[in-house]
Chain A
Amino acid sequence: MNDNIKPNSVGIVEPKIIEIKETLKLDCGKTLESFELIYETYGTLNSDKSNAILICHALSGDHHAAGYHNEDDKKPGWWDSCIGPGKPFDTNKFFVVSLNNLGGCRGSSGPNSINKKTGKEFGPDFPIVTVKDWVNSQKLLGDCLGINCWACVVGGSLGGMQALQWAISYPENLKNSIVVAAAAKLSAQNIAFNEVARQAIITDPDFHDGRYNDYGVIPKRGLSIARMLGHITYLSDDSMRQKFGRDLREGKLHFGYDVDFQVESYLRYQAQAFVERFDANTYLLMTKALDYFDPAEEFNGDLSLAFEKTNSRFLVVSFTSDWRFSSSKSHEIVKSLVKARKNVSYAEIEANQGHDAFLMPIPDYLKVLSNFIKNVI
């Protein structure tokens, strides 16, 4: 038995794959005749199907949000701190569903899937999907699982954008929306970071216009640089100083271009681990979904009008040291919800972990989720 598996863990979980045989019309104008989604569930759906929580993942997340896949698994799912018996998303009470989004690389239909029309891998031809498309696909997943109305849709970062879009797209099909460390749209600076990441990937000689699998290579260098850049923006200056300072890996300078400082070693390690588990085309697609998200656009740029028809309660959470999606972005969401006279609470959690704080077990953060979720059903 794995000693890591604590009593408040959901334990060993098994992902399921569902084929959704519905035509999905995408924002880009293309359609998917059918598609597959991989998902995990934790807890039990009650008889009136009123206790379902949908977890939406961020840029590099996936369906494995909690528990372990096998006895030897060293690390639990990415949001294990929040999902499990007695945790904020209490699996004794709720039925929690977590999926890998369309266009992902962890088992849902995406660039690595086979295009039934051609019999070949989609690769770069997989259509660019948007947050709205994801929400539409998640709605169909809910329908398949017999869930007409989610008790709560929740997500951090890009996941928070989905939770917002849910409230706008399907006001009758969710009761609560939790939006953590998110934004109603990206700033020029955010888009600029994404563009540098994309350029790193696209200009890698191993990218081959996205057909790298045909050549038996992956654009490792580009994907590594994209991840390193992303990672820096997820941390705060403060947390990097605390974690690494100017510590040297081997206690001395080498007067060369290999690793001198601990922070360099850390970034390279993170990048290496990422390259092994993530697909470059998916990374490109996810960053575009981020860039394109702007629910106010259809409402002449007035976000409060976009919220006008929403019916859910909202909880918006930000973190003091997050500069990727700073508190001012959350303020913008809150202000628009208030203007539309919606039921919204907002907490700005004191945390020095930067954007990554939304994944961390910060006591005030977990408590605010618990307090809100308590009144969900």
Chain B
Amino acid sequence: MERKDFKFISEWIEKDSTVLDLGCGDSTLLDFLRINKNVSGYGFEKDIDKVQQSINKNISVIQADFNSGLDQYFDQNFFDYAVMTQALQENKNPDKIILEMLRVAKEGIVTFPNMGHWKNRLQLGLLGKMPISNSLPNNWFDTPNIHLCTFKDFERLCGDLSITILDKKVLNSSYNSNKLLSFLPNFFGEIALYRFKKS
């Protein structure tokens, strides 16, 4: 199954480039990029079942937790792109990992769920409970999402880290875009895709 956000990511990626996918899952994205953009590169994944699926797809995958650092693996600008889809909020230090992505690659691409979506605001602000939604399906006690943020928070962090945002795409949970989303992205957007580089 091809995810629509992967199609958008693919549009940002140059043909024949090198890509590092952090938290590559079953490597659907790398497989998609290999077929459509002839990219080469590696996936990082800590879950053995997903590593198995990646190897099954003939993708180069390394079973490792990238929270322990990429410096032992990759020199500066080793890749054209470092990608991380739906995993930023699961990191211990999202700020450090973003900087690390921009050390090993010329550009970074991340996707993450928006804590500032109106449904989340409603659940927390009016109902007084932690939000549960299509893009944030877990209970507070068993969620892997330990560092949730809003689009605004992310953009502020980029500013603080001297990172330039090159592209941005705001989607709903079915990975579609519409006018409402571009009107008030931090209110109506559920998932965002960002492409960025060092300023």
- Pick the contact of B55: A338, A339, A341, A345 (CB < 8 A): A345
B contact residues around A346 at 8 Å (CB): 61-64
- Pick the contact of A338: B42, B48, B59 (CB < 8 A): B42
Are the CB atoms of B56 and A374 closer together than 8 Å?
yes
CB of B172 within 8 Å of the partner chain: no
Interface string of B180-195 (1 = CB under 8 A from A): 0000000000000000
Interface string of B49-87 (1 = CB under 8 A from A): 001101110111111100000001111000000000000
CB distance from A348 to the nearest CB of B (A): 5
Interface of B, helix, strand, loop or mixed by DSSP: mixed
Complex Cα gap A142–B156 (Å): 62
- Pick the contact of A348: B56, B59, B63, B75 (CB < 8 A): B63
B contact residues around A375 at 8 Å (CB): 56, 58
Interface of A, helix, strand, loop or mixed by DSSP: mixed
Are the CB atoms of B72 and A335 closer together than 8 Å?
yes
Are the CB atoms of B42 and A315 closer together than 8 Å?
no
Are the CB atoms of A368 and B52 closer together than 8 Å?
yes
Complex Cα gap A367–B52 (Å): 7
Interface string of B146-177 (1 = CB under 8 A from A): 00000000000000000000000000000000
- For residues 292 through 342 of chain A, which have their beta carbon under 8 Å from a beta carbon of chain B? 315, 331, 334-335, 338-339, 341
CB of A26 within 8 Å of the partner chain: no
Complex Cα gap A331–B62 (Å): 10
Q: 11 other contacts beyond A345-B55, A345-B62, with CB at 8 A cut-off?
A: A331-B64, A335-B72, A335-B73, A338-B42, A339-B74, A345-B61, A346-B64, A348-B48, A368-B51, A371-B52, A371-B55
6 interchain pairs, CB-CB under 8 A:
A339-B75, A344-B42, A344-B60, A344-B62, A346-B62, A375-B56
- Residues of chain A whose beta carbon lies under 8 Å from any beta carbon of chain B: 315, 331, 334-335, 338-339, 341, 343-350, 364, 367-368, 371-372, 374-375
